[in-house]
Structure 1
């Protein structure tokens, strides 16, 4: 494959206030809103406290007090996990095999290993084989989220033209074995510099080429095999397009696959509390105004699935419905500050 711009030019290279110890964004990039600067930091003040939260119901599964409220378990196993007092908790023990499998996949995917069973799950090796988990067609959710990317999701595309890993999961031997069995990884597309996690280990192991906008190069990923340059779209194939969406970071890009799947990184996700697509103003390290423009830019593309790094995925019944949702989100981004704060005084974008 050769990366080609939309004009046909060849390219040779391409939430929650916290008890905090360090922030995710790099020095020099900042949230554009005043109150945004107070939130969405990774906290570690009680990282060594592994106490079962009292908000859990009695039973085998539980969440401990090191939960960082990343939402992973809640969208992976919504029948088991809910948000209670700023962290996740088990509100209902799984009663069916499918519910239990979903809950245990969420346990494996928790970036801080904050989910436990009272006794070691005897079928855990079988559960490990369920990740990556099929989303639709030939697209999979990897699971095994990484703390270093605040629990961002990673995805895998299995294709005869070459397999693609979208953003980096946590390095995990069971996942690596599954990816090997599925044909390995040819390319790793990184939406932006926040969610690179264990990219170096996957690159070294699989020999995959990393694809990243050159504006996103930093100390965590100082180089990439394919650097995308300029604001134009770039294509890996007829089915794969990389679209620059500045806002969350300056060089953030999303990936459109088969005019059906949009891998949105930290640009847009579904909110279960607001019941519509949202961006995250409290986690915007470049410009929320630019991000709003980038959101409207997506109206020029056709897709029906949004697969984000943070927040819940969204599957629309058709591309027209998705377009309506994207337009609504773009409008919402212009006046989100006018919304009243929740009664508990804490924003919850999820």
Structure 2
């Protein structure tokens, strides 16, 4: 929970703020770009949300912040509950963004793929009752694809609850030593007709990406968007 006594001076006056526990992971800037921006070494509120969509996005950012660094001077529980209910947030074709990024994975994003042969979790969000219940309603989790060792987070808890198969590369297996499926070498692994696991160069030796239906590429930290140059 954010501490107003640690409110950063870089925030503009108003209800929403970021405190000094921010790890500058970029999550809030992804979810509510109209309200948050990078100022110095931290994120900060550069525009207080006014419209309904802006306020909704700001509450999404507050809930998803991995270290709870976003706070409000006056909280609206109903709006916060609505924001919580928006996760996992649909993207397209059964793919959703989970929200609730984990400090254990340095604020990395995680995703849900709903598939008739079993749902996939891509990297791990925080282990939360809300997400567990949503995943249960949508058919559970069959596979947990771990892009690399940094983004394992609470994957062990989700695997235990759902009986899911965790997939990780041999070179990063120390991060999930009891994983159920280990990828070896540098060759692409095909799982069913829709999923390709591709080992790639990365900042860990066991980095992998997942290509889904030749359309969605889940890259972990292999690719990174540069907001300044507007390019990868």
Q: TM-score, normalised by structure 2?
A: 0.94
* 1:160 counterpart = 2:119: no
Q: Secondary structure at the match of 1:177?
A: helix
Query: In 2, distance between residues paired with 1:107 and 1:150?
Result: 16
Query: In 2, distance between residues paired with 1:117 and 1:181?
Result: 32
* 1:267 counterpart = 2:222: yes
Partner of 1:193: 149
Partner of 2:53: 98
Query: In 1, distance between residues paired with 2:152 and 2:5?
Result: 27
Partner of 2:131: 175
Alpha-carbon deviations, 1:29-62, whole Å to 9, x = none? xxxxxxxxxxxxxxxxxx9995111111222111
Spell out the pairing of 1:74-93 with structure 2 (5 A cutoff): 74-93=29-48
Q: Secondary structure at the match of 1:116?
A: strand
Partner of 2:23: 68
* Structure of greater Rg: 1
Partner of 1:304: none
Q: Secondary structure at the match of 1:231?
A: coil
Q: Is the 8 A contact 2:3 2:19 kept in 1?
A: no
Tell me how many residue pairs correspond in the alignment.
230
Q: Is the 8 A contact 2:135 2:141 kept in 1?
A: yes
Q: Is the 8 A contact 1:129 1:178 kept in 2?
A: no
Partner of 1:323: none
Alpha-carbon deviations, 1:242-290, whole Å to 9, x = none? 001033111210000111111001100211112110xxxxxxxxxxxxx
Partner of 1:31: none
Q: Secondary structure at the match of 1:262?
A: strand
Change (3 A) 1:136 1:147: same
Unaligned runs of 5+ in 2: none
Spell out the pairing of 1:292-311 with structure 2 (5 A cutoff): none
Alpha-carbon deviations, 1:158-191, whole Å to 9, x = none? 1112100000111122222222222211110001
Q: Secondary structure at the match of 2:222?
A: coil
Partner of 1:118: 73
Q: Is the 8 A contact 1:50 1:65 kept in 2?
A: no
* 1:207 counterpart = 2:163: yes
Partner of 2:101: 145
Query: In 2, distance between residues paired with 1:64 and 1:229?
Result: 43
* 1:227 counterpart = 2:182: yes
Partner of 1:42: none
Q: Secondary structure at the match of 2:47?
A: coil
Alpha-carbon deviations, 1:92-118, whole Å to 9, x = none? 111221111111111111010000111
Q: Is the 8 A contact 2:21 2:67 kept in 1?
A: yes
Give the one of 185, 189, 194 matched to 1:239. Answer: 194
Shift of 1:222: 1.0
Unaligned runs of 5+ in 1: 1-46, 278-350
Q: Kindly report the root-mean-square deviation, in angstroms, between the aligned alpha carbons of the 2 structures.
A: 1.6
* 1:251 counterpart = 2:206: yes
Q: Secondary structure at the match of 1:217?
A: helix
Q: Which runs of 4+ in 1 moved over 4 A?
A: 47-50
Change (3 A) 1:50 1:225: farther
Query: In 2, distance between residues paired with 1:225 and 1:129?
Result: 31
